[in-house]
Amino acid sequence: MTDADSPWLIVGLGNPGPEYAANRHNVGFMVADLLAGRVGGRFKAHKARAQVVEGRIGAPGPSSRRVVVAKPLSFMNLSGGPTTALRDFYKVPVSNIIAVHDELDIDYGALRLKLGGGDNGHNGLKSITKSLGADYHRVRFGIGRPPGRMPVADFVLKDFSSAERKELDYFVDRAADAVEALVLEGLERAQSTYNT
C-alpha cells in the first residue's frame, strides 16, 4: 500500500467529557465533529481509547480519499497513545496524520497548516510527538493569548467568550475545509488558501 492508497488519520485534540466540550482547548474536537458529519458517519468507540468515524472525502470516484476521523478519549496530555494505536490499527503512515488543535500564538480564528515542527508547549502535540516523532501535519486553530495575567491553563480550559462564539461556527467550518484541502490537494495548496 502506497501513501496515496493509505487512509488519512485526522485527530481532533481535546479533553473528553461534557464539562470540557465548549472549552478553547477542545476546538480540535469541534472540527472533528463537523468532519464526521460531512463524511456521513457517527462516532463509534474504538479499542484504541478513541471515538472514530470512517468515511471518504472528496467527490465520489478515484480522487476521493479514505479518512478516519478520531477523538482520543484519553486526556489531552495523553493523546499520543490513542493516536499511535490508531496509526497501527489502520496502517497509516505518519505523513498521513493530521492533528487539529488550538494554538495560543495565533489570533482567534486564524489558521496555520504545517508539517512537523515543535509542540510550542501544547501538551497534546507533546504527547503525539513523543509517540510518533514530529513529522505529522498540524492544522493550528488560533485562540489568541489570555487576557492580562490569566494563566494559560485557565484560559484554554475556559469556554469561548460570547463574542468569540458569534464567529466560532464559521471558523470551525473553515478549519474543516482546510483539513479537507490538505488531504485532497496537498499541503502547499491548502496553505496558500487557508494560512492567515
What is the CA 108 to chain-centroid distance, rounded?
16
Q: Which three cell numbers stand for residue 108?
A: 482567534
Q: What is the CA radius of gyration of the chain?
A: 15
3-state secondary structure of 22: coil
Handedness of CA 38, 138, 170, 77 (dihedral sign): positive
Residue 50 dihedral angles phi and psi, to the nearest 5°: -150, 160
Please give the single-letter amino acid code of residue 8.
Answer: W
CB 28 within 8 A of CB 46: no
For residue 61, give the DSSP letter: S
Whether 25 is catalytic: yes
DSSP element (H, E) containing 68: strand 65-72
Please give the backbone phi and psi of residue 88, each rounded to the nearest 5 degrees, phi first.
-70, -40
The C-alpha atoms of residue 33 and residue 41 are separated, in whole angstroms, by 10
Q: Catalytic positions, please?
A: 25
